Each structure stands twice: as structure tokens, then as C-alpha cells.
Amino acid sequence: MRRGGAEGGGAPLLQRRLQGGRGGPRPAPLRAVAETGAEGRGPRATRAHGPPGRKPPLGRADGRGPCPDLAPQARRGPVRRRAHGPVLRPARAPRARVRILYVATDQTVPGATGGSVHVLEVARGLARRGHEVHVVIAADGGPPREVEAGVVWHRVDWRPRHRLFRFRARPAVEAIADQVRPAVVMERYYNFGGEGIGTASRRGIPSLLEVNSPVVDHPYSAKRALDAALIVRPMRRYRESLCRQAAALVSPIPEIVPAFARGKTETVTWGANVDAFSPDRRRDDFRRALGVPEGALAVVFTGSFRPWHGVHVLEAAARRLRQRGDLYFLLVGGPHARPGEGYRGRRLGSRPYTEMPEIVAAGDIGVAPYDPARLRALALGFYWSPLKIFEYMASGLPTVTIPRPPLTEIVREGQEGLHAREGDPVALADAVTKIASDAALRRRLGASARVRVVERYSWACHCEQLERVLLRIAA
């Protein structure tokens, strides 16, 4: 093996890339949002950063990340030194370098949402792959222009500061585009956005629309009824015009994209930072600090406590198991920290994201008991990216979730975890009990979960998927 790598211009026969664990890079000191990544689809109250009213800098990245998708021969039998260590892979030819303008004005970075972490991880992941990345985000008190971890961050403002008036950010986005002169523009879709796609269209620049929430209305949508009342359906026409202008789209499921645009839509997966979220982050003293009794198994939930996240189902299941002295429930997120009501455990409240890898690794079982009946938009399909599940799996936790695609593809029954009927506390309690009562099953499911998320659901894998689309439309 010769030194060097494809990204550095060398041509080794085989090269080592890091999947995480003690052989991988340690997470950088995070002054704001950890390079730990996190759920790209919605707010998470667990994302808290520093004192209120002051925005910390973005933090430093170490420039190294987890490996991309396995090559076919490696997929048949990757060579590992240990369970969470490096994998030997064939070297790849140098990639083309593309100047990318990523418009995500619905987010602040650092921020307190999973969407903010999504933007951060995507930007850094593309920069690590050798591209020049400029990101346009909402002003948050930070500098108008900031360079961190190989990414140039541009903060823009508009008035009134409401999503309905995001179109007023378009002049600022156009000015940045004229200065940067990107080869491709990528926009994170959000209601009433379009400033990135419109800017690209007027300049003849190919564009990619990143669809994380439905472009189509679900059957019970109040917005759909209002749009119909306006006769010409201006909101639907505007959303569809963005899809027509974009050279390509990416989405977790095709059902949230208009039918006419599905032919140019690439289905992609979101992920977790598999370097930061790792079984190696587990510490007994930290478990004690969280209140986990000696010898007990910690059942962990993380999220923003939205009604459809199923916290009510989890706490009802926990109450059914309150007589079990070997179980302790940790619920991370929500507005307040307090003891569990009627069960053994506690709500931790909102915690800094820098603590999340250690909190998740302190657990023994991860739970994601979604209750889709409480979010009508999910009638289109489960499009919400389950970052909590990816983080559980990356930390080596067997995971209990509901039997609904694509969750059933991520957590396969009896392989990475178990399924429990949605909205059913009895079924959830039974699944937790089955895993808690069988140490061998727990170890097997947790080890399989780690391997699966590292190989298929890391942010590096996601950025490789994005890169293929970006290179195609920029060519």
C-alpha cells in the first residue's frame, strides 16, 4: 500500500477510511453545534447551544469523516480490525471539484433544530469531499460572512422576519450568487421559499431542490382548502414551478413530490454522524450522573416531544413497567426537566447537542414510538427523517420503532431492533421487555444496528448520494 489517497491525488491500491470508534477521528471541540450531526426533518428541542441571546461560532471540524458507500467487493466482506474500526476499501479516482451555493434560509446555523444540524452536516460533508461550498442561511446575530470547516456561511435578513416574506431575501441571495458564481445551486425546500431556485433559473445555472417536507398537500391540509378557495391555486402553482425549474430533486420518499417531477427525483437517505455517535462514548460515571441506577438498563428517547413523536405512548408503556427495577427511562427534550410521573425515570429537558452522543451512548435500548395518526401530513407517507433512530443505531443501541416504511427498512424486525404497533403502549412495553430480558439478543441487535447505520445511513453516505446528482447536473 502506498501513501496518499484518491482525495489527495495519490493512487494507493487500497486505502483506509474511518468509520468511527477509537481508531477514528475524535469529534472536534464544539463551541456551538457539535460536528455530531443529528433528526433533518424537523425541530428538535434537544438542540440547545449556549446562553440565550448569544450565537456562538460554528465550531471546528477535523476535516475527516466516515467513509462513503461500500464498494461492491467491500460490501461482500469488508475487512475490519475490530467491530467499530476502519474498513479497507479500494481507492477511487479524484473527484471533480464543484462550486456549490446551498440556499437554506429557513435555518440558522448553529440552531436548535434537526434541520439546522442537517444543513451543517450536508455543508461540511460536501466540503470534505473536495467541493467549494457556500451556504446562505438566516441571520442570527452572527457575522454576515463566516468561514468554518471549509464552508463559507452567508447570513441574510429580510423584513418582516416571517417565512411568508422569505421572497424578500431574494435580492441578497442574488447578490451572493453574482459574487460566488456557482456551478450549481442547491435549495432546501420550505414553504414559500424558492429564492435559490429562482436565482439559478434567471442566471442559467443548474439547480437541485432538496425536498425534506411535502411539496404536495395532504388530503386534510388547511393550506389546500385555502388554495382551492383562491380558484387558480396560486400556492400549488408556485410550488410546482419550483419543481419544473429545478434540474433535479432529492427526497426521502417520492410521494411528497408532484407526480410530474418524480422522474427527475433521486431518493436519498438521511443519516447520523457515526464518528461522534458511537458505542465508544459510553461512560459509567456519566450514566450515574444521569440518574441511571446501578445495574439498570436505560431506555432512551430523544426528540422535540411533538404529539406525533409518541411521548404519550412511551410514558404509558413506562408506567406499565414501573415494577421492573431493572429498567430506567430517560427522555431527552421537551420544555422542562422533571422526574417521571408514575414510572422509573426522568425527563432531562433540552440538553446541549454537544452532550447528545454521550447521552445516547449511556442508553441500552433506543425507542422511537411515532404516532402518525397525530400528524395528518404523514398520510402521504413517513417522510420525516428519523435522525433519532440513526443516532441510536450508531451508538449501538437496539431500537424499537413502529412497523411503517421506510422505518421497517432502517430497523429490520429481529435484526437491528423490534417493531411495536403505533399508538399501542402495551405492544411497546412488550417489545422493551423482550429486549431487556435477553442480554444476548440485546448485544446482537445493537451490534447489527451499528454496522447497518455506518454502512448505509451516515452523513457521508448521504453526501455521496448528493454529490452524484450535483456532478450530473453540473456537467
Rounded CA gap, 59 and 128, in Å? Answer: 15
Q: What pLDDT score was predicted for residue 21? A: 40
Structure-model confidence comparison of residues 302 and 218, the more confident one: 302
Measured between alpha carbons, how far apart are the two ends of the chain, in Å? Answer: 33
* 254/296 same-domain check: no
Structure-model confidence comparison of residues 313 and 15, the more confident one: 313
In a domain, 59, yes or no: no
> The whole model's pTM is what?
0.74
User: Nine-digit cell at 365?
Assistant: 435500548
Question: What is the domain count for the chain?
Answer: 2
- Proportion of the chain above pLDDT 70, given as a percent: 73
Q: How many CA atoms lie within 13 A of 316 on its CB side?
A: 12
Per DSSP, what are the bridge partners of residue 200? none
In a domain, 213, yes or no: yes
Q: What pLDDT score was predicted for residue 303? A: 86
Residue 335: is its pLDDT beyond 50? yes
Rounded CA gap, 119 and 107, in Å? Answer: 8
Q: What pLDDT score was predicted for residue 459? A: 93
In this predicted structure, which of 38-52, 374-388, 414-428 has the lowest mean pLDDT?
Answer: 38-52
Q: What pLDDT score was predicted for residue 353? A: 74
Confidence of residue 2 (pLDDT cuts 50, 70, 90): very low
Q: What pLDDT score was predicted for residue 143? A: 94
In a domain, 102, yes or no: yes
Residue 94: is its pLDDT beyond 50? yes
In a domain, 157, yes or no: yes
Provide mean pLDDT across the span 429-444: 98
Structure-model confidence comparison of residues 89 and 160, the more confident one: 160
Q: What pLDDT score was predicted for residue 305? A: 83
Q: What pLDDT score was predicted for residue 8? A: 39
- CATH number, domain of 352, equals 3.40.50.2000
* 173/299 same-domain check: no
* 128/251 same-domain check: yes
In this predicted structure, which of 171-175, 268-272, 291-295 has the lowest mean pLDDT?
Answer: 268-272
* 191/300 same-domain check: no
* 128/209 same-domain check: yes
* 248/293 same-domain check: no
Residue 134: is its pLDDT beyond 60? yes
What's the Cα-to-Cα distance from 373 to each of 308, 315, 334, 444, rounded to whole Å? 7, 18, 20, 32
Q: What pLDDT score was predicted for residue 70? A: 37
Confidence of residue 232 (pLDDT cuts 50, 70, 90): low
In a domain, 138, yes or no: yes
Q: Is 80 left (phi over 0), alpha (psi -120 to 50) or beta?
A: beta
Q: What pLDDT score was predicted for residue 406? A: 85
User: Nine-digit cell at 422?
Assistant: 403505533
Domain holding 380, by residue range, is 279-456
Q: What is the pLDDT of residues 196-223, one digit of tens each?
A: 999 999 999 999 999 987 776 656 666 6
* 202/261 same-domain check: yes
Q: What sign does the CA torsion over 453, 95, 154, 143 have?
A: positive
Rounded CA gap, 219 and 222, in Å? Answer: 9
H helices of 7-82, where? 72-76
In a domain, 214, yes or no: yes
Helix (H) or strand (E) holding 408: helix 407-410
Provide mean pLDDT across the span 314-335: 94
Q: What pLDDT score was predicted for residue 13? A: 33
Residue 266 buriedness (CB in 10 A; 0-12 / 13-18 / 19+): middle
| 399-401 sheet: strands from edge to edge | 345-349, 327-339, 297-302, 365-368, 399-401, 417-419
Residue 389: is its pLDDT beyond 90? yes
* 427/305 same-domain check: yes
Residue 246: is its pLDDT beyond 90? yes
Residue 189: is its pLDDT beyond 50? yes
Mean pLDDT: which of 109-123, 215-229, 397-411 is highest? 397-411
Rounded CA gap, 432 and 451, in Å? Answer: 21
Q: What pLDDT score was predicted for residue 44? A: 40
What's the Cα-to-Cα distance from 231 to each of 97, 228, 242, 418, 446, rounded to whole Å? 46, 5, 20, 47, 53
Closest C-alpha to 454, from 85, 29, 114, 35: 85
Q: What pLDDT score was predicted for residue 365? A: 98
Q: What pLDDT score was predicted for residue 25? A: 36
Q: Which residue in the block uniquely carries the three cell numbers 463559507?
A: 152
In this predicted structure, which of 37-46, 171-180, 235-244, 378-387 has the lowest mean pLDDT?
Answer: 37-46
Q: What pLDDT score was predicted for residue 306? A: 81
* 159/266 same-domain check: yes
Q: What pLDDT score was predicted for residue 280? A: 96
* 284/182 same-domain check: no
Confidence of residue 156 (pLDDT cuts 50, 70, 90): very high
Q: What pLDDT score was predicted for residue 230? A: 64
Residue 296: is its pLDDT beyond 90? yes
In a domain, 48, yes or no: no
Confidence of residue 72 (pLDDT cuts 50, 70, 90): very low
Q: Considering the chain, what is the average pLDDT of its residues?
A: 80
* 171/203 same-domain check: yes
Q: What pLDDT score was predicted for residue 117? A: 82
* 217/249 same-domain check: yes
Q: What is the pLDDT of residues 27-71, one digit of tens each?
A: 333 333 333 333 333 334 444 444 444 454 554 444 334 444 333
Q: What pLDDT score was predicted for residue 80? A: 46
In a domain, 381, yes or no: yes
